[in-house]
Structure 1
């Protein structure tokens, strides 16, 4: 079925969002930039906050961003509806002493970040991006654009490449970025130029490698969308789109919580396992006159949608999936279930998800793992454990999860934003 112009426009805007978000720090900054452009007020953690009914706010902590709207009729026991997602993606991170090389080549010393599908990074134009800490105390963002490549060994030199390619994480994942003597060249200088600073002023850095190609719609009837970092910028973008258009006259406190470090387990000051969301909610409810007991009353009727990607059934590997439950691209967002609480969904949450999908006019699917192929986990159980807020794990189905370039359904991307809007409306 041909896609609507709105769904195609949403995919094109997502391509822009991903292009502007090569690192978690860029993603958090882009969330804030977009929301500020629609009237949200940027807050700083070190300042006193004045939270008022009808207000719209956003705050950034490192590579995480939390934004919220306060309804005009909000009280100290108004519940919160929180859409949780994450800004980081699997890949590679720049090591200390990052300039290396041999045989006349300049290379970058990198460490594997999370669990990337290593082979998918071969033979792509890659960019360096992240944050630089400077000697004067400033922190700036840097993005080199296409600079690096991880070239695969030619099949003439590896006759077994098509029968079992396995990359050594230390010795075969160091990308090239130029020609010359590594003692006379510095990759940090490339980052410094992109940020408009001096390399000698760099005192620290958190820099990752990202695919530089823009997201693209393709396939029959334009059904597919391919891009890097869909896990989980697709959810972050859906939340931004829904929150930016959310009306604040009544209903719950609508919150977008885009955390960092999910791919590492979420254990950081800006991850879902850290205090960021709890810190923000405490200050928001304090601004509405709530004490700890009153805030807990609000939490009892609050909800969190933990939105992350899940596996679509793969036509070439159908046996890896549950034999009955087969989510597929283009058939709607997914409700994620797991008997061992790898996902936080329960019966009550599933019923609520169904109601939000109905309110948005969106059909949905279910996802459950094959018993012999255990699933990963999300920020859902972590958030539910930290705050005691009922949590539902959802997302969109994709193929090529953790690849340098993942595959989603265009209609699913737009439908997720539509359900997020219904969720925020309560």
Structure 2
């Protein structure tokens, strides 16, 4: 299946972002795409019967997903071409006992997930989505996804008249200042939030038997859809570009690959909080799948030695108002190509071999390449790249689309870069022969 053109790609990306409001919804949408393309679902608790040329996918926790094909011409023992990304984004998550009734307004207590840029969350039209675990009428425990799909809350700003120094010295207390307002009530009793969830579940999934809600994992999100903008449509603005843009880019590349080489896409949850979880990159999900594909430890060692991972996670574009936050020679520009991310202290896993291979592939696709190195006097972030490389021994490249406003409720990327990255990833999936010299 060929890749769509740039305009079609961006329209599909915006549609994906609209549907993938949480990691659970992102995985659900990706699984639907894979199944429609002929990938067969696997379960970790069952025996696998894998065949040359076969296409498969499996999920863990409903929030991480691995999809792979066993090459029709080259089996996994000859090396797998792998792309990794993450499904989670910084957000506000609802606390277990969240109900607040203050000054007649019904609010929900929230916990900050990841490194959230809090200022942009004020005065937004917010909705709520995630996974709900409930008991049915027979007492059995079940789970279902929920998404209110409309604006049900907002976090109002405090007027400047009541905080005259706000533009000079504003600080946000995450415990007291960012509680969303859902409605105004008469009386002194707040609604039962779990019952509100039960009603929404019944409305969204007609026919299911919800006796009571047991627990939930719910995120607030901005209802404003992703969109192209700029005088010439040069930008894409939207929520969760970090890192659903990379999930979508890797998925499109895998679906467009020829299938002759063994290829894999992994999208992990919990990267924004360190990746240490059953579904995170620091957990056993990927290594467990690769071991089952290999069949034994000797074959697994050969697979990892001959494979390569491209860890795709957004990069910091050089901001025209804050250009001094970048190294003079390493300020990536939007729409000037994907960015190889390099750090001598191994906060990124790129080395000269993996960067060199990517540069060759990009040249073949006529895609420009940029490089990012953090200022030497600033701390450097990290990705699933070093975690995957350290846990599996697989050569890894860190790369990403340059972005403004990373970890904001609405981020900004160039309208060409994701498509360019997907083209190179598709070529990477189809590389014939050994990836590296013996």
TM-score (norm 1): 0.95
Counterpart Cα distance in 2 of 1:34 and 1:193: 29
Segment of structure 1 superposing worse, 268-277 or 128-137: 128-137
CA distance in 2 between partners of 1:159 and 1:386 (Å):
51
Unaligned 5+ runs, structure 2: 203-207, 432-438
User: Alignment partner of 2:382: what SS?
Assistant: coil
Separation of aligned partners in 1, 2:18 and 2:124: 15
Structure 1 stretch displaced more, 352-361 or 56-65:
352-361
Residues 1:194 and 2:184 aligned together: no
Aligned counterpart in structure 2 of residue 140 of structure 1, from 144, 166, 169: 144
Aligned-pair CA distance for 1:213: 1.3
Counterpart pick for 1:263 among 266, 272, 275: 272
Displacement, 1:46?
1.6
Matches within 5 A, 1:217-256: 217-248=228-259, 250-251=260-261, 253-256=262-265
1:198-347 matches, within 5 Å, as 200-248=211-259, 250-251=260-261, 253-286=262-295, 291-347=296-352
Contact 1:342 1:381 in 2 (8 A): yes
1:413 corresponds to which of 418, 421, 436: 418
Aligned residues: 417
Aligned to 1:231, the other structure's residue is in SS state: helix
Q: Summarize the Cα distance change of 1:158–1:70 in structure 2 as closer, same or farther, 3 Å threshold.
A: same
Q: Is the 8 A contact 1:26 1:141 kept in 2?
A: yes
Distance 2:377 2:209 in 1: 53
8 Å contact kept, 2:335–2:414: yes
Q: Which residue of the partner structure matches residue 183 of structure 1?
A: 189
8 Å CA contact 1:42–1:58 kept in 2: the answer is yes
- Alignment CA distance shift 1:204-1:315 (3 Å): same
Aligned to 2:336, what secondary structure does the other structure show? coil
Residue 50 of structure 1: aligned partner: 49
Contact 2:84/2:309 (<8 A) preserved: yes
Contact 1:99 1:182 survives alignment (8 Å): no
Output one character per residue of 1:202-227: Cα deviation in whole Å (capped at 9) or x when no partner: 11211111121110101021100000
Structure 2 contact 333–402 (Cα < 8 Å) conserved: yes
The CA distance in 2 between the partners of 1:355 and 1:191, in whole Å, is 52
SS in 1 for 2:167: helix
Contact conserved, 1:86 with 1:258, CA < 8 A, in 2?
yes
Q: Secondary structure at the match of 2:16?
A: helix
Equivalent residue, structure 1, for 2:111: 111
How many Å apart are 1:346 and its aligned residue? 0.9
The CA RMSD over aligned residues, in Å, is: 1.6
Question: Cα distance 1:104–1:407, how it changes in 2: closer, same or farther (>3 A)?
Answer: same
Equivalent residues in 2 for 1:158-169 (5 A)? 158-169=163-174
- Which residue of structure 2 lines up, in the alignment, with residue 383 of structure 1? 388
Conserved in 2, the CA contact under 8 Å of 1:106 and 1:182? no
Q: Deviations over 1:214-261 (max 9, x none)?
A: 10101021100000000000000001111112221x22x211100000
